[in-house]
Amino acid sequence: MKFGGVHKIAVSVGTVTGIISTYYYIKCNKNSKIAFASWTTNYEPNPLARWDYNWDHREPKTLVNPKKLSTTVGDNEYNEMIEKKISKAVRHIILIRHGQYNTLGLTDEERILTETGRKQAELTGVRLKELNIPFTEMIKSTMSRAQETGSLISKSLPLIPVTNCDFIREGAPIPPEPPIGNWRSEMRFYQDGARIEAGFRKYFHRADPSQEKDSYTLIVCHANVIRYFVCRALQFPAEAWLRISLNHGSITWITITPSGRVYLKVLGESGHFPPNLLTSHP
Beta carbons of 228 and 60 less than 8 angstroms apart: no
Beta carbons of 198 and 128 less than 8 angstroms apart: no
Q: Cα Rg for the chain, rounded, in angstroms?
A: 24
Q: State the helix-helix crossing angle for 186-203 and 223-233, rounded to 10 degrees.
A: 60
**Are 165 and 70 in the same domain?**
no
**Are 6 and 66 in the same domain?**
no
Residue 10 and residue 24: Cα distance in Å, rounded? 9
- Which structural domain range is residue 60 located in? 51-84
pTM: 0.83
Q: How high is the pLDDT of residue 206?
A: 98
**Are 70 and 108 in the same domain?**
no
**Are 22 and 79 in the same domain?**
no
Beta carbons of 255 and 91 less than 8 angstroms apart: yes
Domain assignment present for residue 260? The answer is: yes
pLDDT digits (tens, 9 = 90+) for 181-237: 677 688 889 999 999 999 999 999 999 999 999 999 999 999 999 999 999 999 999
Count CB atoms within 10 A of the CB of residue 5.
Answer: 10
Residue 186 and residue 55: Cα distance in Å, rounded? 26
CA angle, 40 then 43 then 49, to 5°: 120
CATH number at residue 105: 3.40.50.1240
Domain assignment present for residue 282? The answer is: no
Residues of the chain whose pLDDT is less than 50?
1-30
Q: How high is the pLDDT of residue 35?
A: 53
**Are 95 and 7 in the same domain?**
no
